[in-house]
Structure 1
């Protein structure tokens, strides 16, 4: 079901970026009304959902599925492709602890990308589980409240493995790392065995991705056991590195169930993969986490090729609604960055489309404006975008320039002569432009760029021209 929430929330409802006295605008655009609570522009669509789910928990069905789309705001420094206001499209299920809800979100995300024009093979939905990471931390002796600082350093280090490589991350897990400029970053101070336990997880994605996997349907029963598909092999690998942790084993089993449910619906590892490399946001989520990555290459501002990257992310956040109710309320969902997705479609030549502007009815006589607006009304009644020229009609050339800027396919012209004959002239602006480019094009020879038709046949004639 669609759900629309207010752009303004109390900071208590937003929670995550609650302003303090010294930094009242940290993370969000916030202000304080006189003698009232702090208010802020929403920074995502999930926190408002949690507030609504708690406020109307007795009225909403359970489980409650909702989708929403709208602007959100972040009080951060803008940059290339990074804005203070941007659009998100979210889908969530509140009230279900079943991994089937997580699997449904993953399937919906894959389907949504294909529907908007991202073909199979140009994207992958990656799935991990916070519980697996908790298991890794437990195996490494980093569980417990007293190890929170070390866990934070470890998470940040793992997140940098693509940039720093295995040795760079290993250094950050130990005493620290000195970069090329000589700056030193203090590490987590882990022992050798602790660091190696973490590295088994940090390098899991590299190990998994560099295996050769058979294509779906190519194996017999014995081969499937010896040469499993990617998702099955990922699960086996993760099971091994968290074998001494109950919470880690629980996380792997949840991933196994998700993969099984998706596989039964035809969502194999060519679309949705178990990927230990998904670590962003693991401090926020409580179970499965998802990320949609576009795998095709684009050229950056310096002319270098690079993968487009992530356009969506989400996961299970069972603790969010509890902030309001004090009771456990399971929830899972995903957020799509609409602006990034549109940028991806444009990069692939799929976002711009060939949108046709309105048919423009030109004005040849100010005193006959009612007649011209009558033409516009007839065209609109027929479902055709149309508008009358409202500028100074003295210069007819300016009217055609306006129509060109509007991307208009047709200009409707009726001067005194045409009105006397009961006709209108339809000027094909698209064809006229092509003829102007090259008057010898064979495909345009037999089609005039301008036709005169009876006034009563205006709508039918425009429909024919648009159909061509």
Structure 2
């Protein structure tokens, strides 16, 4: 066969695939997120914080000194060059963009400036179980106050947010430490290199996720992901000697075990232990006194039982300069395979007095707290605090007669005008059965049907309103039951078209349904 006679090749079909570390979200999950965000917003506004939004992209150099300094700054963040060859990056968190916003609008903002914002953040990191490259955070920050009272307020507000989301007191803890105290430990151990100390901080920050033996490796020569040399990826360690490692582990203790550490039986005991450990350090002592004030204010506000001073909290980011805090869930549960689940931290923050100062060239104190909405939502779903049922769909107006589309559209418009979610069936109306199946898949509360008989009824136009929830319940009942016929009549009623809205509302009230 000649080339001219050959059939043209079909173009290759594009394979639908989701990039690693990202996730699609359906209606139920989106509805749960919306409810969580609204709950957190109400708490933050109760504390006097106001909303602000910043864009997803920032100039890369504005995102913070914790980013690498290299020709292509694309490690840890997603970066590209714009048309004037400036590097811009998707935001890594919501704090660095806020620092840029405050610096740019400094003279017009009230000080202290109290704001909140939520949105997606992006991290160019290796994805893993529960570790995504895109996730949502909800932040609140106070810029312009150096008082530990501002830090204490963040801790108390974090506690209120957890309880508003349905996590009772005693099922979470707000753990607080101070970078200044850790700097006192650094002084005592003679660790001069900032880079080495940052590696130490990031190693300690993993203490609630890894066994203490792995933390010791990260403080020393480094750690192989597979546990043995040559297996998995290698993480370079801080290179501390045995004596330094021993002292640091002795201070932070083992968060997974109630062993010896600076942690005491209560906040007063922990603060006393810390004060003794850093007695010869001016900055360390200053940090301890700030923690003492935070603990005192939390106790005075009625939060003493849920705000705990904890020497193991460090937070991994470089820009923290004072108090740091994390919210940890204490609830225990199992995953879908019956394995025990430990939630760990679902939020955190701290004081970052140098971040705004980079733009201003003058001291600008600031502190903030961030809830990991995506992570917390996963935890709340697992413990049954979030409704995972399919989102309620709209009332579906079916198409019985194709030439009467305008009549059906008027019904839809009337329902919508009464704040009832409604849609006109826009598929092939040939089969009423297919339309009812569609309404079931949409999780519609009811469907509206009007044929020519109903339209031309001698008593005036009628509609059939079919209660899909009640219909599903009837399908599971014994048809010989006394109440079956009565309930069957309720499941499908013919009512005057003028009473359409009232009938839909009756069905919604019967099942206690709404679209909120």
Residue 200 of structure 2 corresponds to residue 151 of structure 1? no
RMSD across aligned positions (CA): 2.9
Distance in structure 1 (CA, Å) of the matches to 2:96 and 2:509 = 47
CA distance in structure 2 between the partners assigned to 1:68 and 1:186 by the alignment: 35
- Per the alignment, in what secondary structure is the counterpart of residue 58 of structure 1? helix
Distance 1:27 1:129, change over 3 A: same
Question: What is the rounded CA distance, in whole Å, between the counterparts of 1:449 and 1:177 in structure 2?
Answer: 64
Structure 1 residues 359, 190: CA separation in 2 closer, same or farther (over 3 Å shift)? same
Whole-Å separation in 2 of the counterparts to 1:109 and 1:158: 23
Aligned equivalent of 1:268: 304
1:342-367 deviations in Å (ceiling 9; x for gaps): 21121122323554221111111122
The reply to whether residue 254 of structure 1 matches residue 290 of structure 2 is yes
Residue equivalent to 2:247: 197
1:240 to 254, 272, 276: 276
Q: Is the 8 A contact 2:177 2:309 kept in 1?
A: yes
Distance across 2 between alignment mates of 1:445 and 1:231: 66
Could you tell me how far apart the structure 2 residues matched to 1:330 and 1:6 are? 23
Maintained 8 Å contact 1:204/1:276: no
2:367 aligned residue: 332
1:459 counterpart residue number: 501
Partner of 2:463: 424
Report the counterpart of residue 57 of structure 2 in structure 1: 8
- Structure 1, 448-457 or 47-56: larger mean CA deviation: 448-457
Contact 2:402 2:429 in 1 (8 A): yes
What's the counterpart of residue 344 of structure 2?
309
Is residue 181 from structure 1 mapped to residue 231 from structure 2 by the alignment? Answer: no
Deviation at 1:61? 0.5
Q: Show structure 2 runs of 5+ residues with no match.
A: 1-49, 511-516
Deviates more, 1:69-78 or 1:19-28: 19-28
Give SS of 2:145's match: coil
Question: Which residue number in structure 1 is paired with residue 88 of structure 2?
Answer: 39
Q: Is 1:367 paired with 2:403?
A: yes
Alpha-carbon distance between aligned partners in 1 of 2:464 and 2:336, rounded to the nearest angstrom? 47
Contact 2:415 / 2:421 at 8 angstroms: preserved in 1? yes
Greater Cα offset, 304-313 or 176-185: 176-185
Q: What's the CA shift for 1:33?
A: 2.6
CA deviation digits over 1:365-424, x for unaligned, max 9? 122222212222222222221111111111111111111111111111111111112211
Q: Shift in Å at residue 450 of structure 1?
A: 1.0
Query: For each residue in 1:183-219, what CA deviation from the matched residue of structure 2 results, as whole angstroms up to 9, or x when unmatched?
Result: 7976634363x444323312175787899x9xxxxxx
Distance 2:336 2:239 in 1: 35
Deviation at 1:256, TM superposition (A): 1.2
Q: Decide whether the 8 Å contact of 1:284 with 1:317 is kept in 2.
A: yes
Cα distance between partner residues in 2 of 1:263 and 1:180: 43
The structure 1 residue matched to 2:107, chosen from 55, 58, 66, is 58
Matches of 1:258 and 1:366 in 2, distance apart?
70
TM-score, structure 2 normalization: 0.79
Q: Report the CA distance shift for 1:189/1:53 in structure 2 as closer, same or farther (over 3 A).
A: closer
Q: Which residue of 472, 475, 493 maps to 1:436?
A: 475
- Could you say which residue in structure 1 is the equivalent of 2:187? 138
The residue aligned with 1:115 is: 164
- In structure 2, relative to structure 1, the CA distance for the partners of 1:251 and 1:208 (3 Å cut) is farther
Q: Show CA shifts across 1:52-99 (max 9, x none).
A: 100110101101111111112222233332222221111111111111
Contact 1:50/1:320 (<8 A) preserved: yes
CA distance in 2 between partners of 1:68 and 1:419 (Å): 52
2:208–2:255 Cα contact (<8 Å) kept: no
Q: Any conservation in 2 of the 1:412–1:424 contact (CA below 8 Å)? A: yes
My pick for the range that moved more, 440-449 or 30-39, is 440-449
Deviation at 1:141, TM superposition (A): 3.0
Query: What is the CA-CA distance between 1:160 and the residue it aligns to?
Result: 5.0
1:270-295 alpha-carbon deviations (Å, 9 max, x no partner) = x2211112123263310111111122
Partner residue, 2:315? 280
CA distance in 2: counterparts of 1:240 and 1:87, whole angstroms: 40
| Structure 1 unaligned blocks of 5 or more | 214-227
Which shifted more, 195-204 or 23-32?
195-204
Distance (Å, rounded) in 1 between the aligned partners of 2:139 and 2:215:
33
Deviation at 1:21, TM superposition (A): 5.0
* Runs of 4+ residues deviating >6 angstroms: 174-179, 183-187, 206-211, 441-445
Corresponding residue pairs, total: 448
Residue 193 of structure 2 aligns to a residue in which SS? helix
Distance in 1, matches of 2:227 and 2:93, equals: 37
Judged with a 3 Å threshold, the aligned counterparts in structure 2 of structure 1 residues 247 and 371 are, in CA distance, closer, same or farther, namely same
Over 3 Å counting, the alpha-carbon distance change for 1:85 and 1:115 in structure 2 is same
CA–CA distance in 2 between the matches of 1:107 and 1:438? Answer: 51
User: What is the TM-score of this pair, normalised by structure 1?
Assistant: 0.87
